[in-house]
Structure formats: C-alpha cells, structure tokens
C-alpha cells in the first residue's frame, strides 16, 4: 500500500504516546504510523490493542539511543516526520536514578536528531515524493521551510501533506514539559480568579494560585533531574534547528491525566490505592499546585501543531486548570467511592501525609494563549467530565491495572514509599 506520509512516533506504547498513535492511525489512514518504543516498564502494547491490526500501523521495538537502527528504519521506510515522546517521565524515579534520565532523554533525543539530520539533510529537508506517495498527491507536494503546512494546503482536515512542488517537507516535533520552566510562586494560596479560561477549566473550582504563568518566553529553570534532562533535550532540538536547519518544533505541556497512565503518577496511583483501600501518600502538605489537561486534548494539540505549527517555534499546551494536590485528591476519593458504590468520602481517612519529594516544585500553571490564538486549538473536555471519565476507565479496566501493578511494581512501591 502507498502512503502519503510515513511518521515515526517514539514512545507510542506509553501513556500520552498511545493516545497520539491511536489518533493518528485512525484519523489518517493515508499515513503510515510507526510506533518506535523500547518497551520499558512504562511501555505497554496492551494500550494499543484496538489499533494493532490496522494496515497503516507498525510497531518497532527499538531504543531511541540506537542511532544506526533509527537511521536504517528511516531510510527503509522513507520516514518524513518524527513525533518524539519517548522519555523517562517520572520525577521520583529521576531522583533515585538520574543517569537513566540523562541517557534516554538527552542522549536518546540526540541520537534521533542525528539520524533525522543524516537522512533528511541531503534531501534539503524535504523528501522527494517517490513510490511511497500516491500520484494524485505527488503533483501537489512541496517544501515549506519556516512556514506553516496549512498555508500550503489550506487546512488540516484533508491530507496534511503539503502543496507546491514535488517533495514532502520533513518535520521533527519534540514533546516536552512545563517543568523545564521551574516552579512558579504561590502568591495567592487562597486562590484568585484566573485571567484565563478554556473549555478544560474546572466549572466548580476555577482558581489561580498566583499572578504569574509559564509563557513561551520564560527562561528555563529546571529543578529535578527529570526536568533538567528534558530541558537539555529541548536545547539540543533548538540547536539542531539553529545550527543545521533541521525543521523542528517544541511544545511544553502541563500535567496530563486520563486512561492508560502508569500508576506511579498521582492520579492512577491514588485510584488504584483507593480501590484497594491502601494509604494515599500525600507529599508534604498536599499544597503543591499542578495544572491538569485531559490526555486526548494533548493528543489533539499535537495533531494540530504537527500539521500547522511554525517551524522553530515553541508552543505551550494547557487548559488553565490549576489544582492543589489535596483538592484533587479529595475529588478522586469522592468520585472513586461513588463509582464503587461506597459512601462518597468514606475513604478520606486513607489520606496519609508523607515526607515531601526532594526539590518539590510548588506551582505549575501554563499559559497556552499563543496556541489558542495562533492555531485555534481548544481543549474539548471540562475537568469534571474528564476526571469522571478517567476514574470510570480505571475501574472498568481493573485487569489492566492488575496487570501493570503485578511483578516489579510491588518492588517499585516498596522502594519508593516504605517508611516514607
Ligand atoms: P510514559 O512514561 O508513560 O511513556 C514513555 C514511553 O517511552 C514508554 O512507552 C517507554 O517504553 C518509552 N521509552 C522510554 N525509554 C525509551 C527508549 N530509550 N527508547 C524508546 N522508547 C523508550 O510517558 P508519558 O507520560 O506518556 O510522557 C510522554 C512524553 O510526554 C515524555 O516526553 C514526557 O516528558 C512528556 N510529557 C508528559 C506529561 C505528563 O503529564 N505525563 C506532560 C508533559 C509532557
Ligand atoms: O507538568 C508535567 C509533568 O507532570 C510531566 O512532565 C511529567 O512527566 C509527569 O510525571 C508530571 O510530573 P509531576 O511530578 O507533576 O506528576 P506526579 O503525578 O508524579 O505528581 C503530581 C503531584 O502529586 C506532585 O506535586 C507530586 C504529588 N504526589 C505524587 C505522587 C506520585 C504525591 O503527593 N504523592 C504521590 O504518591
């Protein structure tokens, strides 16, 4: 079968990656989607059961650090785009084992950048439309450098391949995090009316805990080994654009929640513990603030930005939905209790305050106005709907939870929480 475009999505077996792979495989049957993933503890092919037999999907088990392997794959498959999500992603693990984070997040990203440069540069960053491209499209494909792809084809919805000439513009899209900006001050612990709102903002609880937000211009100030490694990878991506002309885009997103998240992260870990009536380990006083976005809305933003974002730009992604940890934990307890048929709130006594995370960032709050204004992206799901959907998904998929919490997970849990 001929495909219009061939993309590698790295980390596609993980939490966010699996939602991105699913969206692209279903929405773009004319694209070949290659999920390149090493399948670490966080990678799980069960996350993609529903699309694994689609003709435009291929899974390749590979480490992003394998430069030769990635280059060969790009050449064999004539890959014209990379959406890079593969990473070590958990802050607590980075505190225990920073080396792995530097290796995967920094060296792995560098290896992908080098492979993309080696393959694409001789073509002038646009692949000649060859056999991999249907003749109808071939006549209208072209290079767009420093411009948006949508300028060329007039919109995202049809073939996102690009008009003009006879080549497919290449693109390296790096997915990063808001944590690279460091921590914001909590100037208003009681909460104030936020200056922004989106469809994702909570209806019942819409507060900001400070006057400042993360904007794209802010200087990087990472604190954890995780965010330091992500910051370093972001710098490498920009350096490859500035030095070699590699067509890159970077986005920085706030905390994601939703189905298929590994239960080391706050929301799935707490839902799992509530169902087993295990203590809920709240770090410090539970006052830290995070800005939550439903994962499918992040995937939709990635789709829009991959196709219409400007080369060399950075876009922040978030839904203006700040929550103190303790408040979100109470919502989780109430929702899980209700859906399990327990009395709402009866598991509040599981809350257990434990030693704080070292270097724990106080507040994240992202300003995503640029993305909304320039590319028209809006989240689709309000927080109340999203959290209900999420808790229901974990409770309806307890076999998935049981599977990922067996074996090594018990050791991880002991190591991270025993005696804390
Ligand atoms: P995750 O930990 O759930 O998944 C990571 C995936 O990468 C796994 O499938 C894993 O097998 C794979 N992987 C790890 N090392 C690899 C390697 N060396 N080679 C190939 N594959 C490898 O992560 P996530 O939460 O889905 O995050 C995905 C990306 O989004 C990361 O880059 C993360 O920094 C970023 N991000 C995450 C959030 C969030 O809230 N989870 C928010 C903003 C940005
Ligand atoms: O902001 C984006 C980032 O969000 C992503 O880049 C990271 O990959 C992702 O892991 C996430 O980082 P956080 O550290 O914010 O997420 P986590 O779910 O680990 O923690 C959320 C908050 O909850 C944080 O303030 C720490 C707290 N927490 C977490 C756990 C796991 C607890 O109080 N207890 C816990 O057991």
Name the pLDDT band for 336 (thresholds 50, 70, 90).
very high
Highest mean pLDDT range out of 127-131, 154-158, 300-304? 300-304
- Of 50-54, 76-80, 200-204, 282-286, where does mean pLDDT reach its minimum? 200-204
pLDDT at residue 162 is higher than 80: no
The whole-number pLDDT of residue 158 equals 32
Known catalytic residue at 226: yes
Q: How many CA atoms lie within 13 A of 172 on its CB side?
A: 29
The whole-number pLDDT of residue 130 equals 64
3-state secondary structure 298-357: HHHHHHHHHHHCCCCCEEEECCCCEEEHHHHHHHHHHHHHHHCCCCCCCCHHHEEEECCC
Distance 15 CA to ligand 1 centre (A): 7
- Of 92-96, 108-112, 137-141, 209-213, where does mean pLDDT reach its minimum? 137-141
Catalytic residue among 226, 257, 283, 394: 226
Phi, psi of 261, deg, nearest 5: -85, 135
pLDDT at residue 135 is higher than 80: no
Name the pLDDT band for 136 (thresholds 50, 70, 90).
very low
Greatest pairwise CA separation for the chain in angstroms: 66
Nearest ligand for residue 358 CA: 2
The answer to whether the CB of 179 is under 6 A from ligand 2 is yes
Six token digits for residue 420: 């804390």
pLDDT at residue 321 is higher than 90: yes
Distance 254 CA to ligand 2 centre (A): 11
Ligand 1, pocket-test mutation among 12, 89, 99, most atoms within 8 A of CB? 89
Q: DSSP readout, 378-394?
A: -----HHHHHHHHHHHH
The whole-number pLDDT of residue 361 equals 98
Q: To the nearest whole percent, how much of the chain has pLDDT over 90?
A: 88
Nearest CA to ligand 2 atom 2: 255
Nearest ligand for residue 175 CA: 1
Nearest ligand for residue 178 CA: 2
The answer to whether the CB of 162 is under 6 A from ligand 1 is no
Catalytic residue among 4, 37, 80, 179: 179
User: Other CB atoms closer than 10 Å to residue 331's CB: what's the count?
Assistant: 19
Nearest ligand for residue 325 CA: 2
pLDDT at residue 417 is higher than 90: yes
pLDDT at residue 161 is higher than 80: no
User: Other CB atoms closer than 10 Å to residue 68's CB: what's the count?
Assistant: 9
Distance 91 CA to ligand 2 centre (A): 7
Rounded mean pLDDT, 131-148 = 35
Nearest CA to ligand 2 atom 10: 90
Known catalytic residue at 315: no
C-alpha–C-alpha distance, residues 143 and 157, integer Å: 19
The whole-number pLDDT of residue 166 equals 78
The answer to whether the CB of 387 is under 6 A from ligand 1 is no
**Ligand 2 atom, smallest distance to 265 CA:** 18
Nearest CA to ligand 2 atom 36: 281
Name the pLDDT band for 357 (thresholds 50, 70, 90).
very high
The answer to whether the CB of 35 is under 6 A from ligand 1 is no
**Ligand 1 atom, smallest distance to 12 CA:** 9
Nearest CA to ligand 1 atom 37: 177
| CA nearest to 128, candidates 142, 147, 117 | 142
The whole-number pLDDT of residue 132 equals 42
pLDDT at residue 363 is higher than 50: yes
The answer to whether the CB of 261 is under 6 A from ligand 2 is no
The whole-number pLDDT of residue 181 equals 98
pLDDT at residue 223 is higher than 50: yes
Distance 86 CA to ligand 1 centre (A): 4
Q: How far is CA 74 from CA 17, 18, 47, 279, 381, in A?
A: 19, 21, 24, 47, 36
The whole-number pLDDT of residue 165 equals 53
């Amino acid at each position: 079968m001929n495909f219009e475009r061939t993309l590698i999505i790295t980390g596609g077996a993980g939490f966010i990656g699996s939602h991105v792979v699913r969206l692209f495989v279903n929405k773009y049957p004319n694209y070949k989607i290659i999920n390149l993933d090493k399948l670490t503890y966080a990678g799980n092919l069960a996350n993609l059961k529903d699309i694994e037999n689609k003709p435009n999907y291929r899974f390749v088990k590979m480490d992003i650090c394998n430069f030769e392997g990635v280059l060969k794959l790009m050449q064999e498959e004539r890959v014209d785009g990379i959406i890079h999500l593969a990473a070590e992603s958990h802050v607590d693990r980075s505190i225990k084992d920073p080396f792995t984070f530097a290796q995967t997040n920094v060296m792995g990203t560098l290896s992908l950048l080098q492979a993309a440069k080696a393959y694409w540069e001789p073509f002038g960053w646009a692949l000649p439309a060859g056999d991999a491209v249907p003749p109808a499209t071939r006549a209208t494909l072209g290079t767009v450098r420093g411009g948006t792809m949508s300028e060329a084809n007039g919109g995202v919805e049809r073939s996102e391949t690009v008009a003009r000439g006879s080549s497919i513009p290449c693109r390296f899209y790096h997915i990063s995090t808001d944590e690279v900006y460091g921590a914001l001050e909590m100037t208003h612990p009681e909460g104030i009316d936020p200056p922004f709102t989106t469809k994702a903002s909570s209806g019942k609880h819409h507060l900001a805990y400070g006057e400042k937000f993360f904007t794209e211009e802010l200087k990087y100030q990472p604190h954890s080994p995780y965010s330091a490694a992500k910051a370093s990878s972001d710098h490498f991506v920009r350096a490859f654009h500035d030095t070699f002309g590699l067509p890159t885009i970077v986005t920085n997103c706030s905390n994601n929640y939703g189905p298929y998240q590994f239960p080391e992260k706050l929301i799935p870990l707490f839902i799992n513990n509530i169902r087993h009536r295990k203590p809920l380990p709240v770090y410090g006083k539970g006052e830290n603030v995070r800005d939550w976005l439903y994962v499918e809305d992040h995937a939709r933003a990635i789709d829009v930005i991959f196709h219409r974002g400007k080369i060399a730009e950075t876009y922040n992604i978030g839904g203006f939905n700040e929550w103190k940890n303790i408040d979100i934990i109470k919502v989780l307890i109430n929702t899980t209790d209700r859906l399990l048929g327990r009395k709402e709130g009866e598991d509040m006594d599981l809350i257990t305050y434990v030693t704080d995370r070292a270097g724990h960032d106080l507040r994240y709050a992202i300003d995503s106005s640029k993305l909304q204004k320039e590319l028209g992206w809006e989240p689709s799901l309000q927080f109340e709907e999203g959290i209900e959907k999420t808790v229901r998904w974990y409770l309806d998929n307890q076999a998935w939870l049981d599977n990922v919490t067996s074996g090594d997970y018990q050791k991880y849990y002991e190591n991270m929480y025993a005696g804390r």
